[in-house]
Structure 1
Amino acid sequence: MLELTGVSRRFGTHTAVDSVTLSIPEGQMVGVIGRSGAGKSTLLRMINRLTAPSDGEIRFKGKPVSSLTGTSLRNWQRDCAMIFQQFNLVPRLDVLTNVMLGRLNHRSTVLNMLSIFSPQERAMALMALERLGIVQTALQMAGTLSGGQQQRVAIARALLQQPKLILADEPIASLDPLNAQIVMDALRDINSQDGITVITNLHTLDTARTYCERIIGMAGGKVVFDGAPGELSTEAVRMIYGAGNDGAEISEAITSTSITPRPAAVQPTKSTGPLQAAHRAKARSGIALPA
Structure 2
Amino acid sequence: MFELRNVTRHFGKKRAVDSVTFDIPQGQMVGVIGRSGAGKSTLLRMINRLVDPTSGTIEFGGIEVSSLRGSALRNWQRDCAMIFQQFNLVPRLDVLTNVLLGRLNHRSTVSSILNLFTREERIMAIGALERLGIEQTALQPAGTLSGGQQQRVAIARALMQQPKVLLADEPIASLDPLNAKIVMDALRDINERDGITVVTNLHTLDTARNYCERIIGMAQGRVVFDGQPKDLTAAAVAEIYGADTAIEESMTSTSIHIPAAVAREENASAGYKPLALAGL
Flag whether TM exceeds 0.5 (same fold): yes
Residue number in structure 2 paired with 1:191: 191
* Equivalent residue number for residue 257 of structure 1: 254
Q: In structure 1, what residue type is equivalent to 2:252? A: T
8 A Cα contact 1:99 1:125, kept in partner = yes
Partner of 2:50 in structure 1?
50
**Cα distance per residue 1:169-189 (max 9 Å; x no partner):** 000000000000000000000
Tell me the TM-score normalized by structure 2: 0.92
Question: Which 5+ residue runs of structure 2 have no aligned equivalent?
Answer: 273-280
How far apart, CA to CA, are the structure 2 residues paired with 1:87 and 1:181? 16
* Corresponding residue for residue 224 of structure 2: 224
Deviations 1:192-240 (A, max 9, x none): 0000000000000000000000000000000000000000001100111
Contact 1:81–1:165, Cα closer than 8 Å, also in 2: yes
Q: CA deviation at 1:259?
A: 4.1
Which residue number corresponds to residue 164 of structure 1? 164
The residue matched to 1:174 in structure 2 has which SS?
coil
Q: Is the 8 A contact 1:224 1:239 kept in 2?
A: yes
Does residue 1:237 correspond to 2:234, yes or no? no
Matched AA of 2:271: Q
State the Cα RMSD in Å: 1.4
Q: CA distance change for structure 1 residues 259 and 198 in 2, over 3 Å: closer, same or farther? A: farther
Please state if 1:27 is matched with 2:31. Answer: no
Task: Verify the 8 A CA contact 2:8 2:19 in the aligned structure 1.
Answer: yes
Deviation at 1:260, TM superposition (A): 5.7
- Verify the 8 A CA contact 1:29 1:197 in the aligned structure 2: yes
Measured after TM superposition, the shift of residue 242 of structure 1 is: 1.8
Deviations 1:28-71 (A, max 9, x none): 00000000000000000000000000010000011100000110
Residues 1:36 and 2:36 aligned together? yes
Counterpart-to-counterpart distance in 1, 2:106 and 2:245: 53
CA deviations over 1:55-96 (Å, ceiling 9, x no partner): 100000111000001100000000000000000000010000
**Compared CA separation, residues 157 and 251, structure 1 to 2 (3 A):** same
- Measure, in 2, the Cα distance between the counterparts of 1:120 and 1:235: 52
Counterparts of 2:232 and 2:124, CA distance in 1 = 39
8 Å CA contact 1:219, 1:240 repeated in 2:
yes
Q: Which string of whole-angstrom CA distances, capped at 9 and with x for unpartnered residues, describes residues 102-132 of structure 1?
A: 0000000110000010000000000000000
**Partner deviation per Cα, 1:240-268 (whole Å, 9 max, x = no partner):** 1121xxx3222212332224687787438
Aligned residue for 1:171, secondary structure, equals coil
Q: Distance in 2 between matches of 1:29 and 1:259?
A: 21
Alignment of 1:135-214 (within 5 A): 135-214=135-214
Distance 1:260 1:105 in 2: 40
Q: Conserved in 2, the CA contact under 8 Å of 1:85 and 1:173?
A: yes
Q: Give the 3 Å change call, closer, same or farther, for CA 160–72 of structure 1 in structure 2.
A: same
| Contact residue 242 and residue 250 of structure 1 kept, 8 A | no
Q: Please give the alpha-carbon distance, in whole angstroms, between the structure 1 residues aligned to 2:195 and 2:70.
A: 28
SS in 2 for 1:30: strand
Could you list the structure 1 runs, at least 4 aligned residues long, displaced by more than 6 angstroms after superposition. 261-265
Equivalent-residue separation in structure 1 for 2:250 and 2:11 (angstroms) = 33
Pairwise CA distance, 1:143: 0.3
Q: Equivalent residue of 1:136, what SS?
A: helix
| 1:87 to 1:147, Cα distance in 2 relative to 1, 3 A | same
How many residue pairs get matched?
A: 265
Q: How does 1:54-203 map to 2 (within 5 A)?
A: 54-203=54-203
* Cα distance between partner residues in 1 of 2:28 and 2:256: 21
C-alpha contact 2:238 2:245 (8 A) present in aligned 1: no
Q: Distance in 2 between matches of 1:112 and 1:248?
A: 54
Cα distance in structure 2, aligned partners of 1:266 and 1:173: 30
247-256 or 259-268, larger mean C-alpha shift? 259-268
Structure 1 stretch displaced more, 233-242 or 173-182: 233-242
Report if aligned partners of 1:206, 1:259 keep a CA contact under 8 Å in 2.
no
Q: How far apart, CA to CA, are the structure 1 residues paired with 2:270 and 2:173?
A: 27
